[in-house]
Amino acid sequence: MSTIINILSWACLAGGGLFCVIGAAGLVRMPDFYTRMHAASITDTLGAGLILLGLVLQAGLTLIAVKLLMIALLLLFTSPTATHALAKAALIRGLEPKLDQSGGKSSKA
């Protein structure tokens, strides 16, 4: 049983790390503020959640696991709220999203 928990825990830790790296790559590769913010918020929330789940599995049924779950709840509520507030503030400031100017048609023939 301990081996299964260790395998699940490390799978969650590795998956969470992978999502965080993908989110960082999205910050570099996306064209404008809104798509960068979306890429970072979605992948980092999922990545942090998986990392915390992996740590909870490693901790077992202890006070540490309860604290990690409280941190996960805090991240679950604050990350989307902060992302929404940033997007709304940017829109109010006049930062327009970069839209596709080709009308949905590919420029490659």
Quick one: CA dihedral 68, 71, 76, 80, positive or negative?
negative
Residue type at 92?
Answer: I
Torsion of CA 46, 50, 55, 61, to 10 degrees: 100
**101 part of a folded domain:** no
Output the pLDDT for position 96: 83
Say if 98 falls within a structural domain: no
The domain in which residue 78 lies consists of 2-93
| Residue 7 located in a structural domain | yes
Number of domains in the chain: 1
Q: What is the pLDDT of residues 28-64, one digit of tens each?
A: 888 888 888 888 888 888 999 999 999 999 998 999 9
Cα(86)–Cα(33) distance, rounded to whole angstroms? 10
In a domain, 88, yes or no: yes
99 in a structural domain: no
* Residue 30 maps to a domain: yes
Q: Which residue, among 20, 40, 43, has the nearest Cα to 30 in the 3D structure?
A: 40
Is 108 part of a structural domain of the chain? no
pLDDT greater at residue 95 or residue 106: 95
The pTM of this model reads: 0.79
Residue 109 domain flag: no
- How far is C-alpha 54 from the geometric centre of its chain's CA atoms? 16
